[in-house]
């Protein structure tokens, strides 16, 4: 009778019993660390993932914040909390590991859709699918913002960001204060003031702010 795939776990014990005596009867195989041993056995395949650290000729620097239970969550003192569950695991006999995630969509490093805070943009369908990938990807300028102020029109003017620059990473006091590494949401974070954002729109070519 053909077995169901889910019966694999029940098949495992007899298969193991069959293989164990075989393994015991075979001479040990050569290993780079023990070259004196016979080289007759086929090399054990070593499973090692390839970590892709470059893309398009450049080195990847991942500055995103990976999800942690104790990372801050908007207006919460308790952090993100548990966001990952494993209802099915191979270790427990399931065919595959299957995880479940639940968290606010504004957790960690993320982009906001234009429709996030403007109803008329939302109604007109400005979702994340409308974002331009050419704006999101490419060289960016890293600028240090004076640590004693939020980003106002005056701040923007003082930064002298050249025309033509499309993407800017603003390094602020938030980094110095390690705000993303504190569980409690801190409302005193530094950000753009309205006149600073307006100055950026009126006087620069910046399309991406981080």
Give catalytic residue positions.
Answer: 116
Closest CA to 80 of 59, 47, 105: 105
Nearer to ligand NAG, 165 or 180 (CB): 180
Nearer to ligand NAG, 22 or 47 (CB): 47
CB of 38 to ligand NAG, least distance (A): 34
Nearer to ligand NAG, 97 or 137 (CB): 97
Question: How far is residue 164's CA from residue 204's CA, in Å, rounded to a whole number?
Answer: 8
Nearer to ligand NAG, 87 or 104 (CB): 87
Please count the helices (runs of H) and the strands (runs of E) in the chain: 6, 7
Residues contributing to the site for ligand NAG (CB under 6 A) = 86, 89-92, 97, 148-150, 173, 188, 190
**Cα 173 to chain center, whole Å?**
23
CB of 147 to ligand NAG, least distance (A): 7
CB of 170 to ligand NAG, least distance (A): 13
CB of 95 to ligand NAG, least distance (A): 11
CA distances from 198 to 21, 192, 203, 206 (A): 76, 10, 9, 12
**Encoding tokens for residue 141?**
């300028």
Question: How far is residue 109's CA from residue 83's CA, in Å, rounded to a whole number?
Answer: 15
Closest CA to 156 of 143, 166, 167, 140: 143
Question: How far is residue 2's CA from residue 5's CA, in Å, rounded to a whole number?
Answer: 9
């Amino acid at each position: 009778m053909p077995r169901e795939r889910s019966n694999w776990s029940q098949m495992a014990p007899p298969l193991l019993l069959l293989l164990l005596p075989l393994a015991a009867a075979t001479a040990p195989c050569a290993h780079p660390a023990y070259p004196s041993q016979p080289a007759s056995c086929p090399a054990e395949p070593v499973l090692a993932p390839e970590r892709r650290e470059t893309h398009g000729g450049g080195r990847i620097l991942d500055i995103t914040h990976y999800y942690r239970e104790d990372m801050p969550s908007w207006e919460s003192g308790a952090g993100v909390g548990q966001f990952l569950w494993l209802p099915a695991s191979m270790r427990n006999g399931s065919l595959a590991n299957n995880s479940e995630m639940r968290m606010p969509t504004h957790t960690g490093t993320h982009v906001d859709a234009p429709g996030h805070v403007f109803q008329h943009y939302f109604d007109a369908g400005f979702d994340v699918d409308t974002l331009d990938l050419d704006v999101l990807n490419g060289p960016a300028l890293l600028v240090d913002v004076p640590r004693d102020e939020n980003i106002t029109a005056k701040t923007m003017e003082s930064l002298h960001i050249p025309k033509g620059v499309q993407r800017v990473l603003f390094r602020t006091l938030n980094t110095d204060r390690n705000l993303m590494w504190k569980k409690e949401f801190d409302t005193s974070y530094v950000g753009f003031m309205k006149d600073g954002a307006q100055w950026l729109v009126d006087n620069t070519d910046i399309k991406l702010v981080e």
